[in-house]
Amino acid sequence: MKVQILRVMLLAGALALGILGCSTTSPTQATESRLAASGFKVVPAATPAEMARLQALPPGKVSTVQRGGTTYYVFPDSTQKAMYVGRQAEYDAYQQRLEIEANAAADNAAAQQSLGEARMNNAADWSELQDTWGSVWTQ
- Each residue of 6-63: pLDDT tens digit? 565 555 566 555 555 555 678 889 999 999 999 999 999 999 999 999 999 999 999 9
What is the predicted pLDDT for the residue at 113? 72
What is the predicted pLDDT for the residue at 102? 86
Domain ranges of the chain: 25-107
Helix axes 88-137, 2-21, angle to 10 degrees: 140
CA distances from 4 to 7, 113, 122 (A): 5, 13, 8
Q: What is the mean pLDDT of residues 110-134?
A: 64
User: How many Å apart are CA 30 and CA 60, to the nearest integer?
Assistant: 11
Q: What is the pLDDT of residues 81-107, one digit of tens each?
A: 999 999 999 999 999 999 998 887 676
User: How many Å apart are CA 97 and CA 110, to the nearest integer?
Assistant: 20
Q: What is the mean pLDDT of residues 70-86?
A: 94
